[in-house]
Structure 1
Amino acid sequence: PQYHPIYKEYFKDIKSIEKIDAHTVRYHFAIHNQELPLITGQMIILPKHIYGAKGKTFGSDFDDIAVASGPYTIEKYDYGKYITYKRNPNWWGKSIAINKGRYNFDRVTYKIYLDPVAQREAFKGGEFDMQLVNSSRDWALDYKGDFVKKGYYLRTEFPHTRIAGMQGFAMNMRKEIFKSRKDRAALAMVFDFEWSNKNLFYGQYTRNDCYFDNNPEMKSKRIATGEVKILLESLRAKYKSSVPKTALTKPVGAPGQGSSAERNIKVANALLDSAGWKMGSDGIRSKGKDKMEFELLLAGPGFQRIAEPYKNNLKKIGVHMTIKVIQIAEYEER
C-alpha cells in the first residue's frame, strides 16, 4: 500500500497486523466494515527473502522474474513490450482433478500495447492470435467486415454463468428525498434502459434483475414458491413497509421494467403527486422545505453519456439532477 495510491486507499482501514505464530497473523481494523475480512484476503503473500532482500526496494522498478507456484514459468520478456510463459512440466497441481483439461498451451505470449487503436490494427495484421474485447462500441463497429467474411479472424462470444458485476445509480437514503420507497421507485422508473441500450450500447447490454444476475442457481426468475415464498411472507409480516406485496405476486424486476418510457413518466408523476410533491413554477417539485433536486457524482466522464438522458427524463417529472464529474480520489473520499 505504501507504494501505490490505489492500494493505499483500498487497504487504509487495516490499522495494524500482529504476528501470532509462524502460521498465523491477526489484522486489526480501524472501523467496523463487514467487507474488510474479504478485502484483507485479497492481499498477495510475497516471499520476504526475495522482495525484502538487502539492496532491493519493492517500490522501485522491480523487474526480476517473479517467484510463483502456477502452471507456467516465465521463459523470456522484454520489459514493456512482451512476456512469454512456458508450461512447467513438473507443476505440482497438474494431477489435481480440478486442473484436468486446463493449461493446454505449451507457450503463451502476452504483447503490450499502450494505444488501443495500434493494438487493434496489430491484431488485424496477424501479430497475435487472440484479442479480448470489452467495449460494446468496438465489438459492434471495429471487428467486422472483410476480415470476418474472409475468415481472417472469428468473432466469438463465450457465455458464462458467473455472478456478473453491476452498474447503477445508488441513492443516498440519508437524504430526505430518497427515504420513501415510492419516491425512489418514481426516480428509478424514468431511467430509460431500453433507449440507452439501443443508442449507446448497440443492444449488447442486459438489465440486472437482481444482485445475483446471470447465475441460474441463485437468480429468481419467477414468482416465489415453496420455502422462498414462506420466507418472504414472514419478512413481509415483520417488515411490511420494506417488503412490498408485489414481491409475492410478480417476478423480480426494476420499477417500470418492460413498460414504455412514456408510461413510466406518467406513472412516476402520479407517484410523486400522491406522495405530496407539488410542482413549482420553476418546474421543480417540492414538499415543505425540501425540493426534489440532487447531485449525481461521477468518478469519470465515461458514465456522463448515460446520465444526461436520465437527467432529461427526470426533468419531465419535476426533478432536477446536477451531474458532477470528479477525480477518483475525491470520489472515494466523498
Structure 2
Amino acid sequence: MYGDPALPPDFVSLPHANPDAPKGGRIVFGERGGFDSLNPYILKGRAPWGVQTHVFETLMGRSWDEPFTLYGLLAESIETGPDREWVEFHLRPEAAFSDGTPLTVDDVIWSFETLAEHGLPRYRNAWDKVARWEKVGARGIRFHFTERDNELPLILGLRPVLNPRDWEGRDFAESGLEVPIGTGPYTIGAFEPGRYIEFQRNPDYWGRDLPFNRGMHNLDTIRYEYFADGDVIFEAFRAGTVSTQRETNPARWATEYDFPAVRDGRIVKSEIPHGRPSGMEGFVFNTRKPIFADWRVREALIAAFNFDFVNQTVNGGAWPRRTSYFSNSILAMDPGPAEGEVRALLEPFADQLLPGTLEGYSLPESNGDQRNRAGLRQATALLEEAGWTIRDGVLKDAAGQPFAFTITVTSSEHESIANLYADALKRLGIEARIQLLDSAQYNERRNTYDYDMIINAWGLSLSPGNEQYLYWGADGVETPGTRNYMGMNSPAAEAMIDAMLTAGDQESFVAAVKALDRILMAGRYVVPFWFADASLLAHDARLKYPERTPVYGDWIGFLPEVWWYEE
C-alpha cells in the first residue's frame, strides 16, 4: 500500500512459511452452527468459511507479515498508473481451474461484474469506482478508475475469481449446494449439509510450485465438523474428534486444559503473540432505535458496564480493555486533545463532532468493585440530563415509557456476559432482556438490523481501507448486509476514510486512521470488551507450525495455510 514490498523479486517463500514442510495428514476444525449453501459470496444461505479460503483464489495474494502488501498469484505481473488511476493485471499462462480448464480474462470480468451485481454488498463499493475496463493482449486486463483511491488496485487484486460455468442456467444470487470448481489448492470432497465438509488437496494444483505458495497448503485433508455450541466443540476436542481448539477465555485456558491428552503430550498448548490491531468487540447500540439515539444515553450505559468486575469474572482479569478500535497498534488514537494533522482533519467538522472527539475521549473507569457505585452515579446523571428519571423503581422518560430493551446473543458465553450487564442495569431501573438465538436466526436478524443491542466483533487490520465504508458508512443505515451494525451516519467518518484512501504517505495515512478512531470512540456506539494480545491455541501435537509467526499472528493465512502434519 505504501513504500516497497519487503520481499525481493526472487524470494523463495513467504517469511512465515516453511518451504521444506512435508505434505500429508489431516486437520479437523470444530465449527458452531451449520451450512446450507456452497456459495459464500451472497447474502442468502450459510456457506462454510473454507469454500472461499481453500477453493477460490485471487489475482494477487497477501503476505500477512506486512501491513498490506500483495504479490502475484493468478496474475504474474501488475502495473499501475503514477497516481494509481488505473491498474493492469496479466494472468499467468499456467493458471487453471481444478478441472484443467485454463483461466481467461473473460472469467475474471464475469467474476468481478457478477459479484458487484449479485454478490455481497462489499463487492459493489469498489466496483462503482471502476470507470471502464479493457483487454490488453491475450492475457491482460486494465481497469480505469473514476476517482483517486490508492487502495483500489489492491482491492481488485483481492477479488475472488470464480468459474462462470458453475452458474450456467442458475441464478448466482440464489443459494445452493452445487459444488463449485475453483483455481485454488483444494477441491470440495465429501460433505453433508449442517454436519461436515471436507476439502481435499489437489495434487495437480496449477500454483503448487510458485514461491508465494511454497511451504503452504500442506495438509491433504481439511475437515470442518459442525456442532450446536462451543461447549460441545470443546468436548469433541477433548475426545480427539477435533484437532484444534482456539481458546478465547484465559481463565479456562489456565484451569480446564489438564486432561490426559495434554498431560501425556498428545495435545500441545501454544501461545502465539501478534502485532495486529485489537479491532472492536462489545455490546453494540443500534442507534436506529430511538432509545439509543442520544449519545448521553449511550455514555451512561457504557459507564454502567463494570468492566473490571466482568473481566475478572469471565477472564480472571487476564486481558486488557479495548480503549480504541486500533488498540495494540500505531493506528490507535493518542490520549488527550487532537493535535497536528489529526486535528486539521477533524476541525472542518467541529460543529457536528460529539464531545470528546477533539478534546480527547476516554472510557469511564471502574475499580473492580461489584457495585460500581461511581459508574452508576455517572450513568444516573447522564440519563437525567437526557430526560430519563426513576419513578417507582423504574427508569422512565417524560411520557412515562420505561427504559427497556433486548440484548440478542448467539452463544452461552455471550449470554453470561449479558446477564452480568443486565444485573448492573437493574440498579438504574433499566430492564435488559436477554434473547439467545441459534446462528441462522441471529445472522438473519443481524443482517437486517432487527435488534436493540447485540454483541459484535470487528476485526481490523494494520492497513484499513475501503472496507471501512462497509463498517461505518451511511449506506449501511438502511442497506441490509453491511457491517454498520450501530447504524452510524457520520460525514466526518466518511471524510476520514476518504483521507485514508488518498493519503500520499504513511504519516498522512496514520493521521487519518487516528482521526477516524476518535470519531468512532467518541460516538459511544459500543460498550467495549477486552482483547487478546496473544492467541491461545491447543492442538494435536502432530500439527506443526513455523517458529517465525507473521506480524498478524494466528490469524487469516496462518492456520491451516502454513501448518503441516508430522508423526
Q: Indicate the TM-score class for this superposition, using the shorter chain for normalisation.
A: 0.5 to 0.7
Question: Root-mean-square deviation (CA), in Å?
Answer: 4.4
Distance 1:172 1:275 in 2: 17
Aligned residue pairs total: 297
1:322 aligned counterpart, secondary structure: strand
CA displacement at 1:122 relative to structure 2: 1.5
Uncovered stretches (5+) of structure 1, i.e. residues with no partner = 13-20
1:119 counterpart residue number: 237
1:37 counterpart residue number: 124
Q: 2:405 aligns with which of 295, 311, 316?
A: 295
> In percent, how many aligned pairs have the same letter?
20
CA displacement at 1:307 relative to structure 2: 1.4
CA displacement at 1:285 relative to structure 2: 2.3
Distance 1:188 1:121 in 2: 41
2:282 aligned counterpart, secondary structure: coil
1:264 aligned counterpart, secondary structure: helix
C-alpha spacing 1:46/1:323, structure 2 compared with 1 (3 Å): same
1:257 counterpart residue number: 365
Q: Are residues 1:197 and 2:311 paired?
A: yes
1:94 counterpart residue number: 210
The code of the aligned residue for 1:314 comes to L
2:391 counterpart residue number: 280
C-alpha spacing 1:38/1:167, structure 2 compared with 1 (3 Å): farther
Distance 1:325 1:35 in 2: 28
Q: Are residues 1:321 and 2:409 paired?
A: no
CA displacement at 1:331 relative to structure 2: 5.3
Mapping for residues 89-168 of structure 1, pairs under 5 Å: 91=207, 94-95=210-211, 99=212, 102-103=215-216, 105=218, 107-111=219-223, 113=225, 116=233, 117-122=235-240, 131-136=244-249, 139-144=253-258, 148=262, 151-168=265-282
1:279 aligned counterpart, secondary structure: strand
Distance 1:274 1:163 in 2: 35
CA displacement at 1:289 relative to structure 2: 0.6
Question: 1:133·1:139 contact (CA, 8 Å) conserved in 2?
Answer: no
2:136 counterpart residue number: none
Task: Specify which structure has the bigger relative contact order, considering alpha-carbon pairs within 8 angstroms and separated by 6 or more residues.
Answer: 2
CA displacement at 1:227 relative to structure 2: 0.9
Comparing 138-147 with 187-196, greater Cα deviation is found at: 138-147
CA displacement at 1:267 relative to structure 2: 1.4
Distance 1:111 1:154 in 2: 20
TM-score, with length taken from structure 2: 0.43
Uncovered stretches (5+) of structure 2, i.e. residues with no partner = 1-35, 46-104, 128-155, 170-174, 227-231, 451-567
Higher strand share: 2
CA displacement at 1:248 relative to structure 2: 4.2
2:32 counterpart residue number: none
Larger radius of gyration: 1
C-alpha spacing 1:78/1:288, structure 2 compared with 1 (3 Å): closer
